[in-house]
Structures are given as C-alpha cells and as structure tokens.
Amino acid sequence: MQLRHFFVRNSDAPELIELFLVAGVASVLAIRGFLAATGYPQLGGDGLHIAHMLWGGLFMSAALLLLFAALGRVAQRLAAILGGIGFGTFIDELGKFITSDNNYFYEPTIGLIYIIFIAIFLVLEAFRRQEPGPSAALANAFNQLELAAGRPLDADTKRTTLDLLAKSDESDPLVQGLTTFVRSIKPQPVPDMTTFERGTTPCVSIAVWCFHVGSGRFSLDCSCCSPFCR
C-alpha cells in the first residue's frame, strides 16, 4: 500500500495544529507562572509526588477518546485544545526526564521546549503551503459534508466543498455527481451556536491570547479566532 493512500491530508489540519500549538504554549506559560507565584507546591505527601506530567497524559487521553467517539468540527477543535493543554503540561516537565537527578529547573529545558514548539510551528507552515492532490481533495470534500451532517449546509461549507471538488479529478463520475449534488443545495444561514459550542468559542466566552502564526507574536486581536467565529 502506497503512503499517499494510507495518509490523506486533512484540509482543516492547519487550523487544528494552530489550536494545538496555542494551547500548548499557553499551558506551559500558565504552569510556570502559577508555580513561580505559589512557591512551587507539590501535590502529594508521605513520600508521594503527583507530577503534573500525569495530568498532561490525562488531557491527551481525553483528546484521543473525544476524536474516537465524536464527529464534527466542535469535537475536533476541542480535542486539539485538550491535546495541546495536555502536551504543554507534559513537556513542561522535560527537565526531569533528561537529567539524572530529575531536575525540573535544568536551565536548557526552556530552550528545548522552545525548539519543540518551533518544530510544531514548522509542521504547521508545511501544511499551510501544501495543496491537496485530486484524491485528497475529493476525500476532504466528503469530510466537509460529513462534518456538516445534522445541520443545514451553510454558504461557507458549500463554497469550501465546491473548491475542493474543483481540485479533484473532474473526469471522475463520483466528482461530477457530488458537484451537481452540492450545487443543487440551497445554503442556509449559520444556525445559532449551542451552549456547548459557545463555551468552546474564545470570541464569545472570554477574551483570550491568540497566537498570530504569521507574525509569531501574541495579541488580543480577535481576528485570529476567525475559525471559531464564522
């Protein structure tokens, strides 16, 4: 089996990786800030210490279980955020696992964490630049309709699906039939968000720090939350 048939690029990957990256960076900064402000308390006693790395594993496991159990964009975005929080919580204790004395304060750790996040950023940029081939475009067109299942098809989803179909093999009868079907659907207004969706939308729930990947800086500019606000 060729790799391209095994691995089909997700057109939503840049958005999801960006959420993962933002959540990971934010969790590292939040943990380091909290520990410094509270004098580095330890959870446990009687010779036990519950490292926050374990909480990171819990968050990452929750993200995977959510992806296994649920369909839809809300589930994907929430899983990306939970996974990012878990990864950041896990990687924050890197110093303990690369030193013989389990030294959390090992000075090069911050630099190594920075390099890891830069590597994730480069993966994100690679996904942004990559255009899907005909087979991947068709698969993503189906994915767009799958993610919209159970809700009226809005204009943005219809336009995205048609754009993907235009990048597919137009001689394929499946592409032709699906294109005709999608064009025949009258787009509906975007429905009001549920309470759950509103709770996972930074632009609606709280003002959050968003990472501008293009400029590599933090900002309160709400435009970076556009994937949530459309």
Q: Report pLDDT digits (tens) over 160-218.
A: 888 888 888 888 888 888 888 888 888 777 655 554 454 444 433 333 344 443 344 44
- The pLDDT assigned to 112 comes to 93
Asked whether residue 5 is assigned to any structural domain, the reply reads no
**Is 3 contained in some domain?**
no
User: What's the domain count of the chain?
Assistant: 3
Q: What is the pLDDT of residue 82?
A: 95
Q: Could you tell me which of 182, 141, 133, 135 has the C-alpha nearest to residue 165?
A: 141
What does the pLDDT read at residue 6? 64
Average pLDDT, stretch 104-116? 90
The token pair at 156 is 């943005």
Cα(120)–Cα(96) distance, integer angstroms: 22
Q: Which amino acid is at 115?
A: I
Structural domain boundaries enclosing 103: 13-129
In this predicted structure, the answer to whether residue 3 has a pLDDT above a threshold of 70 is no
Tens digit of each residue's pLDDT (9 = 90 or more) over 124-170: 888 888 777 888 888 888 888 877 766 777 888 888 888 888 888 88
Do 171 and 65 lie in one domain? The reply is no
Q: Name the domain boundary from 112, 129, 146.
A: 129
Please check whether residue 208 is in contact with residue 214, taking contact to mean a CB–CB distance below 8 angstroms: no
43-80 tens-digit pLDDT:
766 667 678 888 999 999 999 999 999 877 888 899 99
* Rounded distance between C-alpha atoms, residue 25 and residue 154, angstroms: 33
97 shares its domain with 123:
yes
Would you say residue 146 lies in a domain? yes
Helix (H) or strand (E) holding 203: helix 202-205
Q: What is the DSSP letter of 218?
A: E
Same-domain pairing of 100 and 180? no
Q: 222 with 228: CB under 8 angstroms? A: no
